Structure 1
Amino acid sequence: MAIYLKIDGVEGDVTESTHTNWVECDSMSWNVSRGLSTKPGQGKDRESTSPSIGEITLTTKMDKTSPILFSEACVGQGKTALIHMVQTSPNGIETYMEYTLTNTLVSEYSILADENGRPSETIKLNFTKVEMKYTPWDESHRPEGSVPAGYDIALGVKL
């Protein structure tokens, strides 16, 4: 499995043919939560708050995008960002999870360097809309349709 990131104006080192010039990521974490309250004896009448959509955290290795990502964290403007989770197959690379982030800002940039190898970086992405699509693949490596979801944070509506 590989994780690839594309942010408008940021050219990475990936050479894989369907993700040329994307940024290769080592890990990704993200969360969504909402507060729920249940009154004793009224389990079916739970009350909830609006969702809290967390920032997406990605780790990468230091490369030519490092100064650009730093600059984006300091003064960047809202851009479109794509994240693809891919797997290899006899037919090549298959994207099974896609995220499209709208009005994306790099909200944090940090590095971790020590004597053991190439420094790693962590970036956080803040956005106003997220669309995701999971595509299952059958045993013959053909897509079996897709499962989409999305949320517009600015409007507070499901897409």
Structure 2
Amino acid sequence: MAFDTYISIDTVDGEATQAKHTKWIEIYSFSWGASNPTTVGSGTSGLSSGKVSVSSFNIMKKTETSSAKLFAACCAGQHFPKATVEMSKATGTSGEQQVFLKYVFTDVMVESVQWSGSSGGDDTPTESVSMAFAKVAITYFKQDEATGAMSSAGDASWDLTKVSK
């Protein structure tokens, strides 16, 4: 299944032209996650978890309109109220793009911006951007095979500042 990924960061315009994501930033790739170390106790204690560690949200994108603003935000320690990531795929017989996974990050800061590229080619330089956040909400949308309609099929959220949902 091919899919497209876009991010919208408050006050930062990108160059995406896809109908539902105009002026968003197109993402080539991303990574992030959470881990919770566990220990196996002896006797009756069984398994116990440690403290969850949630990684930064890391993206790879082309250099474009948003690049200078993201760099400036990193240097100044600027906070953004919200960043929304949407992954969409073609659905139904029309092939219209529909969102199937959505992340909403709140209280976002750009931690790093790194550029890479090689001259002489047709490619635009790319950049890696890492963002820290205080809260995240995740929603997955499932496609109805008969109608192609998307509906929420699960969600989760976590507040890193309160270490709770």
| Smaller-chain TM-score bracket | over 0.9
Find the counterpart in structure 2 of residue 64 from structure 1: 65
| Residue 95 of structure 1, aligned match among 87, 92, 99 | 99
Letter in 1 for 2:133: F
Relative to its length, the structure with more strand (as a share) is 2
Letter in 2 for 1:131: A
Q: How many residue pairs end up in the alignment?
A: 157
Contact kept? 1:105, 1:126, Cα under 8 Å: yes
| Residue 145 of structure 1, aligned match among 146, 152, 162 | 152
Find the counterpart in structure 2 of residue 4 from structure 1: 6
Q: Please list, as runs of the form range in 1=range in 2, the aligned pairs for 1:66-81 lying within 5 A after superposition.
A: 66-75=67-76, 76-81=78-83
- For residues 111 and 79 of structure 1, what CA distance do their matches in structure 2 show? 25
Letter in 2 for 1:80: K
TM-score (norm 2): 0.89
Residue 40 of structure 1: how far off its partner (Å)? 4.4
Residue 41 of structure 1: how far off its partner (Å)? 5.8
* Superposition CA RMSD, Å: 1.4
- For residues 130 and 145 of structure 1, what CA distance do their matches in structure 2 show? 17
Q: Please list, as runs of the form range in 1=range in 2, the aligned pairs for 1:116-155 lying within 5 A after superposition.
A: 116=121, 117-139=123-145, 140-155=147-162
Percent pairwise identity: 24
Letter in 2 for 1:135: F
Structure 1 residue 35 corresponds to structure 2 residue 37: yes
Which portions of structure 1, spanning 4 or more consecutive aligned residues, are displaced by more than 4 angstroms? none
Q: Structure 2: which 5+ residue stretches go unaligned? A: none
Q: Structure 1: which 5+ residue stretches go unaligned? A: none
